[in-house]
């Protein structure tokens, strides 16, 4: 075999080697890019979990459960309930997943972000006097162990804070609350008039609402 033939073979092998290396690099970049996008959208956990800051733990004494607005209060349509979904757990992307699940059930979605507090329970629903009937519809769709609390906000918005023990919404087929039906009063609930008059302490300081 001539020297020219040997050089041709070496060049061919070099080209094949370079092609294989470049192909692997391109494939790796595609995988890393796809993983980065999925992580950004909350569809997968990050490969490295190192939070920049930690939420503030709070004492979990949320006060009494507020009663519905009145004895004839009815569940509203889900589309009229604007829910702010806040992640108070360490589960990455939990707020995104829950907001998508609530949207699929017809709820309107407001803010989707990390909570300023760290909650160790299942979930915490917070609202003011104008949002109570809406909050009760959200509560009916939430898993057992979810707590409903009152805060001094003046709009109709409702927050749900995802806790460390949260798993998923209550199965849709088990939710009995229907738009236009009367909201039952839970045992031991406190009237809004008592909560707003100062006779009963609010569920949490105003700066955490």
Q: What is the pLDDT of residue 195?
A: 83
**H/E element, 109:** strand 108-114
27-31, long-range: CB < 8 A, 24+ apart: none
d(CA 67, CA 148): 10
- Does pTM surpass 0.95? no
Residue 40, classed as helix, strand or coil, is helix
| Length, in residues, of the chain | 209
Q: What is the pLDDT of residue 32?
A: 61
- C-alpha Rg value of the chain to the nearest Å: 26
Give the tens place of pLDDT for each residue, 147-181.
Answer: 999 998 999 999 999 999 999 999 999 999 999 99
Q: What is the pLDDT of residue 102?
A: 98
d(CA 1, CA 9): 11
Residues of the chain with pLDDT under 50: 41-42, 45, 47-54, 56-59, 199-209
Q: What is the pLDDT of residue 49?
A: 41
Q: What is the pLDDT of residue 11?
A: 77
Q: What is the pLDDT of residue 78?
A: 97
């Amino acid at each position: 075999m001539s020297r020219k033939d040997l050089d041709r073979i070496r060049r061919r092998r070099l080209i094949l080697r370079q092609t294989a290396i470049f192909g692997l690099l391109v494939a790796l970049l595609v995988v890393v890019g796809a993983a980065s996008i999925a992580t950004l959208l909350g569809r997968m956990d990050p490969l490295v979990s190192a939070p920049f800051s930690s939420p503030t733990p709070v004492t979990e004494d949320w006060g009494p459960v507020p009663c519905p607005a009145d004895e004839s209060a009815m569940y509203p349509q889900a589309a009229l309930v604007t829910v702010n979904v806040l992640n108070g757990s360490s589960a990455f992307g939990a707020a995104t997943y829950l907001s998508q699940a609530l949207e699929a059930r017809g709820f309107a979605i407001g803010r989707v972000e990390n909570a300023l507090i760290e909650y160790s329970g299942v979930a915490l629903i917070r609202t003011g006097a104008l949002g109570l009937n809406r909050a009760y519809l959200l509560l009916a769709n939430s898993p057992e162990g979810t707590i409903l609390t009152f805060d001094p906000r003046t709009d109709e918005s409702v927050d749900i804070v995802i806790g460390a023990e949260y798993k998923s919404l209550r199965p849709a087929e088990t939710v009995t609350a229907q738009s236009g039906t009367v909201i039952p009063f839970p045992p031991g609930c406190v009237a809004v008039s008592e909560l707003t008059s100062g006779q009963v302490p609010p569920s949490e300081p105003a700066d955490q609402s």
